[in-house]
Chains A and B, each alone.
Chain A
Amino acid sequence: MANGENQNPNPNPIEATPGAAARTITLKTADGEIFEVEEAVAMEFATVKSFFEDDAVSATTPMPLPNVSGSALSRVITYCRRSLEIRSKLPSPSPAASAAEAVGEGDLEAEKTAKQERKDFEAEFLKDESNEDVKELILAANYLNIKELLDFLCRSVAVRIQNKSVEYVRKFFAIEGDYTPEEEARMREENAWAFEGVDED
């Protein structure tokens, strides 16, 4: 891939030059799986993007992802593909018009539809995923540095640990409590109000 292409400031890869759709990037996961990913999707991963921005790296080099499993990557790709699709339905803001003028009635409508579509898709996306899967995804999203997905996963994690006991949350984050029993008892007392109405495990 030409490096000039990579430095293109256009943040929306969907609008990249014709022929870009054909380009793929090869990613190799921790468990040795090889993924051929459309460039537009792969460029959503900030980590991958900056890897290929390095002049020394040829576009044909498979990029190793030592922190991401094949199963996680395939989910991440599914998310990013859909996310790009939804985003492409949004009207692209024209740089000529001022921000206020650019938002017409139709644009607002499109924005609303896209927002709802994203909401529905996200609600479905993690419906059957276990806590373990969500955790694996959040680590992958963090490693690949995909802001949108990471934000969505953080929100999902918050929902999953809300109103749960300290023990449950410790288990979720794989945290070992390192307070002495006395310290912990004191802290519980100091924050007694925060322990009102917590769910049973």
Chain B
Amino acid sequence: MDESGLNQSSKKHKLNEEQGIVDGNTKCLENLPEEILRYIISLLPTNDAVRTSILCKRWEYLWTSIPNLGFKIGSKAKRKLFMNFVERVLLLHDSSDIKQFILYCDVLHDGDASRIKAWISSAVRHNVQELVFKLNISEEQFSLPHCLFTCVTLTKLRFYIPCVLKLPPTIYFTNLKILSVRNVTFSDDHSTQKLFSGLPVLEEMFLVDCIWVNLTAVSISSPKLHCLVIIDDEENSNDEDGCQVMIFGPGLKTFTYYGPLCNDYCLYNSCSLERVVINFDPRKTARQVAYRMYRLLSGLSTVKKLKLSSGAVEGIDLSVNCKNADAILDPVPPCFLSHLRCIKVYCCAEVQNQLLHPLVGQVLEVLSFRFSCLFLNLPFLAGRLRVHCSGITSTLMRPEG
């Protein structure tokens, strides 16, 4: 059992206590102590928990201490019922902490927005630890209550807000460990930088399908960040210069990127980085993109495992070709010379041949630069490679060391 729950219920049972001596009533759960009933209710989804108020008068307010509140709107026809329900639950909730607050709903007009902000504020005032919102906004911009951005108890924050998110002047998440931002349009360099700078203990960050067009340069530099995932949507990429995203991750262990490299992502000081996945689909192959690919690879100094999509392989190839005519990564990104033990390439069946040929040529160059192991999950190529790089590695799937 976790830290909450029944701890408070462990009162000593005395044998001489005249409680519920066996009679016809043994199986009447009404005899259970109130804290156990509350605990059972707290394990139910919010709707079920609130429904227990109708069982009988004794149960009317038992649910009001539930720590986890989840509200997801189903059909739009019942919208009014839903909104009233959320409000009622928050109003009746007692002063005990709200551990988790999940809200999925539509924001149709200003009235909705202010109600929803009040709900979020209410959760913050109840020392919320985990917040999850999926707000379908019809307006062009939205803001969250300012108190959220300095919430001391918050450890996990995930939101999907598909519009411009206006941020407050002060942002400092003392205890936030996980941040997931989806479909948000960042409004400007200054406020976005404030957000990225106000995360002193952040460990995991997910930036998914965000729109960066309003930004020119930001940096991500949480000292404890160990997992960073950035996913860019092809449609949101701007053809212009893109944003320069500088990632200072002294504690970063894994970095995952999916998307068209519409921004210039660069890793600095990433001396703990071990695993990198680059899933890059260069439909618009351009010099610019190839250069970004090269820059990204250059920041990977200590990577041991690199997983590349066929597009990313093509990106390497392009970056090589536009770098110099000799088709060598020059200077070779540092990980290729020192730490890299495993490259994994995954390809679509149809294109793999054409795409891998240049890679194999390329990798062989690199192999001669001290690869201790090369892993390609393509048996037809394996034979070929062995011929070319015998003497360096006899087996193509060899673990590190």
Contact = CB atoms under 8 A, between A and B. Distances in A.
Interface of A: 30, 46-47, 50-51, 64, 66-67, 69, 132, 135-136, 138-139, 142-145, 147-148, 150-151, 154-155, 157-158, 161-164, 166, 169-170, 172-179, 184, 187-188, 190-198
Contact of B81 (A138, A155, A158, A193): A193
Contacts of B54: 166, 177, 179, 184, 187-188, 191
A170 B78 CA distance: 27
B6 A143 contact: no
Q: How large is the interface on B (under 10, 10 to 19, 20 to 34, 35 or more residues)?
A: 35 or more
27 contacts: A46-B13, A67-B20, A67-B21, A67-B22, A132-B27, A138-B32, A139-B26, A139-B31, A145-B13, A150-B6, A154-B43, A155-B43, A157-B40, A162-B45, A169-B52, A173-B30, A177-B54, A177-B56, A178-B56, A179-B54, A179-B56, A187-B54, A191-B85, A191-B88, A193-B47, A193-B78, A196-B47
A163 B44 CA distance: 9
B282 interface: no
4 pairs of A and B residues whose beta carbons are closest in the complex: A193-B85, A158-B43, A151-B1, A174-B28
A163 to B, nearest CB: 6
Contacts of B13: 46-47, 50, 143-145
A46 B10 contact: yes
B66 to A, nearest CB: 11
A175 B51 CA distance: 14
A86 B27 CA distance: 30
B325 interface: no
Interface of B: 1, 5-6, 10, 12-13, 15, 19-22, 26-33, 36, 39-40, 43-48, 50-57, 59, 74, 78, 81-82, 84-85, 88
Given A135-B29, A162-B45, A173 B15 contact: no
Contact of A66 (B1, B22, B53, B57): B22
Nearest to B59: A175
Contact of A154 (B40, B46, B57, B81): B40
B139 to A, nearest CB: 25
Contact of A158 (B27, B31, B44, B57): B44
Contacts of A50: 12-13
Contacts of A157: 29, 40
| Chain A binding surface, main DSSP class | helix
B205 to A, nearest CB: 23
B36 A154 contact: yes
Nearest to A164: B48
B88 to A, nearest CB: 7
| Chain B binding surface, main DSSP class | helix
Nearest to B37: A173
Contacts of A175: 30, 55-56, 59
Nearest to A148: B1
Contacts of A172: 29
A150 B36 contact: yes
Contacts of A46: 10, 12-13
A41 B324 CA distance: 74
B15 A64 contact: yes
Contacts of A179: 54, 56-57
A106 B113 CA distance: 50
Contacts of A188: 54
Contacts of B46: 194
Contacts of B51: 166, 169, 191, 194-195, 198
A179 B57 CA distance: 7
Nearest to B52: A169
Given A166-B54, A194-B48, A195-B51, 9 more contacts: A47-B15, A69-B22, A147-B10, A154-B43, A175-B59, A190-B88, A191-B51, A194-B46, A194-B51
Contacts of B40: 154, 157-158, 161
Contacts of B88: 190-191
Nearest to B2: A151
A197 B13 CA distance: 41
B320 to A, nearest CB: 38
A158 B63 CA distance: 13
A169 B45 CA distance: 14
A117 to B, nearest CB: 17
A161 B29 contact: no
Contact of A196 (B29, B39, B43, B78): B78
Nearest to A174: B28
A136 B55 contact: no
Nearest to A136: B27
Contacts of B19: 67
B44 A174 contact: no
Nearest to A158: B43
